[in-house]
Every structure is written in structure tokens, then in C-alpha cells.
């Protein structure tokens, strides 16, 4: 086993982060408010080209507040991508609402517009739709937005994995009524933890900030007319985010280069296909995924075991939410008829390859050599 650990996607610090964090300490602004929070909100909003943002403790908190602000409550139906991490869906259940999981399509691995149409036929009055841009690849936003607009249902974009990705020249997270980003440790930029809710509607982000600071009314005494949450980002972690923002484009370029390296390295192995990129978008390639051809004797576990033996981290593709025990009671809509769903097929045949921006040429060579060896190359 190699002595050095090669990670799937770990935090990459550059130094500028310390300047902003030091400033927070030097000025004693270490609370969940302060100049770094305000500046981080503005800098991120300016980057993605949207007018308003609210910095929060996690992307999950942002999704929860998005649902609250849109009035999602007990018994309401919310359509949501099945092929995602559970954090996308858990807040629906926090509000005692009903998730209805939508299958993926093969061209981007994201929410299938055809399945979404079928969902509207079965459940004509959902309260919201949550679309996920999986692994940084934009979904088919034109089709999904058109369906939502036709039914007058608001769209929430879970852009947790896709900060920096664009669809037809516009940044993901800025198409829906509300967009959310994550700065978890493995994301393209990190604040160690944290998230952001963005919207073109100032009232929405004002409401998010209000709810995130315990919904304290504008009174001299402590007065609360609504239930609030302790969801605000701290001035310290926002400082990390400001330093990271300076390197977002650099991280994106490196992630894309890693995808291209894998694409070239496995071109002669017909059993390997990488996660598809939306031809109408520019993905940040947060993680490079691969699927193994049907009927191939090599399994995802075989590849992951071989990588692990070399001290290289890899991961399975997300297990779809409709297959999770905790969500077993909820409906799942696929356009695939009676056959296997697209998302389940991707899960069974797929894995995620190391996509760390710190991967050296030697790291990439070892990863590629190890994967190729599994296929007798």
C-alpha cells in the first residue's frame, strides 16, 4: 500500500483564508454575524450573478429554509431527484411533507423531465420541485423549468455540488425561485461547513436570514412570533469562504482537467463510461464518476477494493433515495416503464473516482494504472 493517502475530494487551503479569519479574531467578530458574513454573501452573489444571498450553517439548512419560505407543510407533496444525497430530501420530512422521488435520465444523470411530467399527472398539486445538479453537471433546466412554470410550482435548485457550473451561460443555482449551495469539506470550495441560500427576490433572503437567527422580531426585548432556527453562518467560517472564493475558478479548471485525464486514460476500455456532461452546460466536474458496462465481470466493488489497496479513496455513486429504507414508504416516478430505473442502474454499475484538486501527476498515474489493471490493461 502506498504511504500517501489519495483522497476523493478534500479541502484545499491556499493561505488567503487565514487573513480573513485573523481579521475576525483581531476585531473580535467571531459570532454568527459580522463583516465576513456580509462580504461573503455579496461576493458569492456577485460571482453567480444573482442579487441576494443568505449565508447559513449548512446546505441542508438552506434547503430547509427554502421549503419553509415556500410554505411547505404537513401533507404537502414535494418532487425531488432520487439520485442524490439524503440531505436534499431530509428537510422535506422535517416539515412532515411528502417526498415523491423522480428518476434520472441517462444524458446527465439528473432529474428526468419525462418522469417529472408523469409525476404531475399523478400528483397535480405539489408544493415545490427540488432539482439536483449531480456531481456538478447541470440538469436539463429548460425542460424542467418549463414544466414547473406550466404548473405554477416553484423550483428549488440544489446546487450543493455545482457551484461554478453553468447552463447556457448562466450559473446553476440562479434559475429557480431559490438556489442553494454547500461549502462542506469535500465541495469545490469549503468553509469547513456551511451553505448559502440565494434568490433574485430580496424578501426571500431576508426571510431566510430572519428564520436563521431564531426568528427574533424587531423589538427591543426578545420577542418571537414564529419558530426560528440557529442556522446562521459564523463570521469565522465566512472568512474561510472568502479566501476560498478567490480560488473557485482555479479549482473548477483543475476538476475539469481531472475529468479529461480520466476520459483520455480509459478511452480504449469500452467497459468504462464516465458520467455524462450536459452538452448545453459547463460542469465544474466536482466528482468524476464512472459506470461499468452491463455484463462485465468487473464490479464497482472490485475497482474500489483495488484502489483501497493502494491507499486511494473512492466512493460508490449515491444510493438513490427511493431505495433507502428510511424513505421506503414514499412514491417513485420513472419514465422507464416496468424496467429497472435509470438511477438504480447507475448506482449498481457506478463509482466515483478521486477528484481532488491536489492530485499530482504521480497520483493520477497511480489511480489510472490501478483502474486499468482491474480491466486487464
Cell numbers standing for residue 59:
446546505
- Per-residue pLDDT band for 173 (boundaries 50, 70, 90) equals very high
| Average pLDDT of the residues in 290-302 | 97
Fold that domain 249-374 belongs to in CATH? 3.90.1150
Handedness of CA 8, 9, 10, 13 (dihedral sign): positive
For 273, the 3-state DSSP assignment is strand
Please list, residue by residue across 284-294, b when 16 or more beta carbons sit within 10 angstroms of its beta carbon and e when fewer do: bbbbbbbbbee
Q: CA 44, CA 40: separation in Å to the nearest integer?
A: 6
pLDDT of residue 32: 81
pLDDT of residue 110: 98
Q: CA 198, CA 56: separation in Å to the nearest integer?
A: 11
pLDDT of residue 19: 96
Q: What pTM was estimated for this model as a whole? A: 0.97
Strands 155-158, 178-182: pairing kind? parallel
- Close Cβ partners of 291 (under 8 Å, ≥ 6 residues apart): 272, 273, 275, 317, 346, 349, 350
pLDDT of residue 129: 98
For 120, the 3-state DSSP assignment is helix
- Close Cβ partners of 134 (under 8 Å, ≥ 6 residues apart): 81, 83, 84, 104, 108, 109, 110, 161, 275, 318
DSSP letters of 86-115?
Answer: GGGTHHHHHTT-EEEEE-B-TTTSSB-HHH
* Model confidence at 191: pLDDT above 80: yes
* Model confidence at 74: pLDDT above 90: yes
Q: CA 275, CA 289: separation in Å to the nearest integer?
A: 5
Instruction: Please identify which residue in the block is written with the cell numbers 493502494.
Output: 310
Q: What percent of the chain has pLDDT over 90?
A: 96
For 179, the 3-state DSSP assignment is strand
Q: What's the chain's Rg over C-alpha atoms?
A: 21
Phi, psi of 127 (to 5 degrees): -85, -30
* Ranges for all domains in the chain classified under CATH 3.40.640.10: 16-245
Q: CA 377, CA 293: separation in Å to the nearest integer?
A: 16
Q: CA 74, CA 192: separation in Å to the nearest integer?
A: 33
pLDDT of residue 163: 98
Give me the chain's average pLDDT, please.
Answer: 97
* Ranges for all domains in the chain classified under CATH 3.90.1150.10: 249-374
Fold that domain 16-245 belongs to in CATH? 3.40.640
- Per-residue pLDDT band for 1 (boundaries 50, 70, 90) equals low
pLDDT of residue 31: 83
pLDDT of residue 369: 98
pLDDT, tens only, 298-326 = 999 999 999 999 999 999 999 999 999 99
- Per-residue pLDDT band for 2 (boundaries 50, 70, 90) equals low
* Model confidence at 118: pLDDT above 70: yes
Amino acid at each position: 500500500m502506498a504511504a500517501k493517502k489519495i483522497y476523493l475530494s478534500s479541502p484545499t487551503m491556499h493561505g488567503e483564508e487565514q487573513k480573513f479569519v485573523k481579521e475576525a479574531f483581531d476585531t473580535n467578530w467571531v459570532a454568527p454575524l459580522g463583516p465576513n458574513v456580509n462580504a461573503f454573501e455579496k461576493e458569492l452573489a456577485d460571482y453567480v450573478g444573482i442579487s441576494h444571498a443568505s449565508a447559513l450553517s449548512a446546505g441542508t439548512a438552506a434547503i430547509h429554509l427554502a421549503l419553509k419560505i415556500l410554505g411547505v407543510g404537513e401533507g404537502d407533496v414535494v418532487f425531488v431527484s432520487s439520485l442524490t444525497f439524503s440531505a436534499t430530501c431530509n428537510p422535506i420530512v422535517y416539515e412532515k411533507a411528502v417526498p415523491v422521488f423522480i428518476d434520472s435520465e441517462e444524458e446527465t444523470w439528473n432529474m428526468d423531465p419525462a418522469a417529472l411530467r408523469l409525476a404531475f399527472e399523478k400528483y397535480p398539486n405539489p408544493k415545490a420541485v427540488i432539482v439536483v445538479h449531480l456531481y456538478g453537471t447541470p440538469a436539463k433546466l429548460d425542460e424542467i423549468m418549463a414544466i414547473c412554470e406550466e404548473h405554477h410550482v416553484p423550483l428549488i435548485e440544489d446546487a450543493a455540488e455545482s457551484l461554478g457550473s453553468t447552463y447556457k451561460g448562466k450559473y446553476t443555482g440562479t434559475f429557480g425561485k431559490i438556489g442553494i449551495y454547500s461549502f462542506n469539506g469535500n465541495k469545490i470550495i469549503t468553509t469547513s461547513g456551511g451553505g448559502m441560500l440565494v434568490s433574485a427576490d430580496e424578501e426571500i433572503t431576508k426571510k431566510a436570514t430572519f428564520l436563521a437567527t431564531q426568528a427574533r422580531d424587531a423589538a427591543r426585548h426578545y420577542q418571537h412570533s414564529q419558530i426560528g432556527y440557529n442556522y446562521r453562518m459564523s463570521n469565522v467560517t465566512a472568512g474561510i469562504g472568502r479566501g476560498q472564493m478567490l480560488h473557485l475558478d482555479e479549482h473548477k479548471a483543475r476538476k475539469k482537467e481531472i475529468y479529461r485525464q480520466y476520459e483520455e486514460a480509459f478511452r480504449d476500455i469500452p467497459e468504462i463510461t464516465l458520467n455524462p456532461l450536459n452538452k448545453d452546460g459547463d460542469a465544474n466536474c466536482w466528482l468524476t464518476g464512472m459506470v461499468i458496462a452491463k455484463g462485465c465481470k468487473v464490479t464497482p466493488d472490485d475497482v474500489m477494493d483495488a484502489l483501497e489497496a493502494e491507499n486511494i479513496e473512492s466512493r460508490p455513486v449515491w444510493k438513490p433515495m427511493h431505495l433507502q429504507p428510511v424513505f421506503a414508504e414514499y412514491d417513485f416516478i420513472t419514465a422507464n416503464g416496468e424496467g429497472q430505473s435509470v438511477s438504480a442502474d447507475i448506482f449498481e454499475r457506478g463509482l466515483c473516482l478521486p477528484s481532488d484538486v491536489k492530485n499530482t501527476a504521480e497520483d493520477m498515474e497511480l489511480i489510472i494504472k490501478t483502474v486499468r489493471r482491474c480491466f486487464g490493461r
